[in-house]
Amino acid sequence: MSFNLFVLAAAIAVGVGSGIAGLINSPVRWSSAFRAATVGALASAVAIIITVAGTGRDPLAYAHIIYTILTIGIPLTAFMLLVRSSGAPRLLRGVLILMLLPAPLGAYATYIEPFWLTTDRVSVPVESAAAGLRIGVLADLQTTNIGDHEIDAIDRLIAETPDVVLIPGDIWELESEVFETRKPEFAAALSRLDASVEHVVAVNGDHDNYLGIVDLSTGTDIIVLDNEVIELESRGHRIRIAGLSIGGNEERRQGALSQLPEGDQGITRVLLTHRPDVVLELPENTNIDLTVAGHTHGGQVQLPFFGPLVTATDIPRAAAGGGLHSINGNLLYVSPGVGRVRDRAPQVRFGVRPSVGIIDFYDPTNATL
């Protein structure tokens, strides 16, 4: 049985088993609800223990089974009890109705929001020489194949006519042997982007790799950076980009970081990285105009007044949630990304829609902007 089928079966078993336990000695009363809760908790504990034994203590696997029990098992129990709750105390019926709510929320978070793509627009103040520059960001496709969702993301970027598109890694999340069979579709998607945008620059992330991206980019003008600095020109704008690799040479990495701020002020300086934590290494108020990163997916789940539940980074929670922020006087743009964590993690987004980024540079001294 695949992991996803196991998780689904476990959640249904928790729901049905708890419901049956609660219906013993009908009619439904508070004692029935207590029996159902006890059986559900025990069954959930067994499912989690089995998951731990079978996945090598993968916390994403625990999160997946807990999420599925919350959105399937508990509402299923509540539904079974409600069907037989005629004459039950009004408060108990109200509690059971509330227990149904995770089901539609889970359906939304699993089947709607992860595919509800948006365009995240931010504006960066710069000196007049860089005003008018537009950068697109295609972060964390993190997909197992190129489908309508991924094509839509590329279409949105192309339609915005950026001067440069930056790809901060995690283009795919696949086992290496599977990736080999799907390379043509990934290569075709990148080639299409390259054909429509003057400059495309990429670095690798945690799930893809430098050599794989280079392979996909064969025959295109896509530049894949490995702890190095390049200079580009577009519509009169001079752009210097330092691209940092995951797992690359540390000496080259430090060299790229020190080289980026050098030179005159007539050039726009951008630091491209997968993980945003690098901004914490920068001196205060550097003359780097912007750091662009992905990695966090905006947390994938954000709650009102709290933000992302999990950030996978040491930068402040608000910044990890996505968007443009200043950290120690340095501007950082974190893209919420297009995709989501795959494999054994719950396939969800809630409160943080997938997005492509559009970054417009403007002159703050120009009153018409």
Q: What is the pLDDT of residue 302?
A: 95
Q: Which of 42-51, 154-163, 187-196 has the lowest mean pLDDT?
A: 42-51
DSSP 210-260: HHHHHHHTTTS--EE-SSEEEEEEETTEEEEEEEPPSS--HHHHHHHHHHT
Q: Model confidence at 128, in pLDDT bands (50, 70, 90)?
A: low
pLDDT in tens, 321-344: 999 999 999 999 999 999 998 878
Q: Report how far apart the first and last C-alpha atoms of the chain are (Å, whole number).
A: 58
User: What does the alpha-carbon distance between residue 176 and residue 158 come to, in Å, rounded to a whole number?
Assistant: 29
Residue 223, phi-psi category: left (phi > 0), alpha (psi -120 to 50), beta (remainder) = beta
In this prediction the pTM is: 0.92
CATH class of 117-362: alpha beta
Question: What is the enclosing helix (H) or strand (E) of 325?
Answer: strand 323-327
Share above pLDDT 90 across residues of the chain, in percent, rounded to a whole number: 78
Q: What is the pLDDT of residue 369?
A: 45
Q: What is the pLDDT of residue 126?
A: 84
Q: What is the pLDDT of residue 347?
A: 86
Q: What's the chain's average pLDDT?
A: 93
Q: What is the pLDDT of residue 328?
A: 94
For tokens 């006519």, name the residue: 161
pLDDT in tens, 284-308: 989 899 999 999 999 999 999 899 9
pLDDT in tens, 241-270: 999 999 888 999 999 999 998 877 789 999
Greatest alpha-carbon pair distance for the chain in Å reads: 82
pLDDT in tens, 72-127: 999 999 999 999 888 889 999 999 999 999 999 999 999 999 999 999 999 998 87
Q: What is the CA radius of gyration of the chain?
A: 24
